[in-house]
A and B are shown apart, each in its own frame.
Chain A
Amino acid sequence: MNAETKLSGPEILDYFKDVVEDAYVTFNFAKQWKEEYKMKLLGYYPVYFPEEIAYAMGVLPIKLFGGVGRIEPSEATSRFQSFTCSIPKTILQLVMSGSLDSFDALAFTNICDVARNLAFVIHRNYGNKFRVIYLHYPINNVLPSASKYMKEEYERLINELSQITGNKYDPEVLRKYIILGNRKRQILRELLEIKVNKPWNMPFDELFTVFLASMVMPVDKFVELGSKYLEYVKGRPEEKPVERIRTVILGDFCEQPPLQLFKIIEMSGAYILISDYIKNAIWIGDIDANEKDPIDAMVKAYVNNPTPLTTRYHPAINKHEFIKKYVKDMNANAVIFLTPKFCEPSLYDHMIYRLALDSIKMPYVRIDYEEGMTSFEQPRTMAETFFESLLFEL
Chain B
Amino acid sequence: MITAGIDLGWKHTRVVLLEDGNKILVKKYIPTTFKLEEDAERLYNDALNDVGIKATDVDYIVATGAGRYRLKFRNANVTELTAGALGAKFLFPNTRTVIDIGTTQTRVMKIDDKGKVIKFMTNDRCAAGAGAFLERVALYTQVNLPDLGNIALQSKSPVTISTVCSVLAETEIINLLTLNTPLEDILMGAVNSIVGRVMPLIRVVGIQPEITLIGGTVLNPALIKSLSNNLKASINATMDTFYAGAIGAALLGYKRLMKVKGG
Contacts and interface: CB of A to CB of B under 8 A. Distances in A.
The reply, when asked whether chain A contacts chain B directly with Cβ atoms under 8 A, is: yes
Interface of A: 341, 365, 368, 377-378, 381-382, 384-386, 388-389, 392-394
Contacts, number: 41
Contacts of B78: 384, 388
B115 A384 contact: no
B114 A394 contact: yes
Interface stretch (B26-34, B51-59, B80-88, B185-193): B80-88
The CB with the most chain B CB atoms within 10 A, among A341, A368, A384, is that of: A384
Q: B-side binding surface: helix, strand, loop or mixed?
A: mixed
The A interface is mostly helix, strand or loop, or mixed, namely helix
A394 B117 contact: no
B86 A385 contact: no
8 contacts: A365-B120, A377-B66, A381-B79, A385-B79, A385-B120, A388-B82, A393-B116, A394-B86
Nearest to A369: B125
Given A368-B125, A378-B105, A392-B116, 13 more contacts: A368-B124, A381-B66, A384-B79, A384-B82, A385-B120, A388-B82, A388-B117, A389-B82, A389-B120, A392-B82, A393-B116, A394-B86, A394-B115
Contact of A381 (B80, B114, B115): B80
A394 B125 contact: no
Contacts of A368: 124-125
Interface of B: 66, 78-82, 86, 104-105, 114-118, 120, 122, 124-125, 252, 255
B256 to A, nearest CB: 9
A381 B116 contact: no
A14 to B, nearest CB: 29
A381 B69 CA distance: 11
Contact of B122 (A382, A392, A393, A394): A382
Nearest to B77: A384
Contacts of B115: 394
Given A368-B125, A394-B86, A394-B255, A385 B105 contact: no
A381 B84 CA distance: 13
B117 A389 contact: yes
A263 to B, nearest CB: 15
A389 B120 CA distance: 10
- Count chain B CB atoms within 10 A of each CB in A341, A384, A389, A393 and give the residue with the most: A389
A310 to B, nearest CB: 20
Given A341-B125, A368-B124, A368-B125, A389 B116 contact: yes
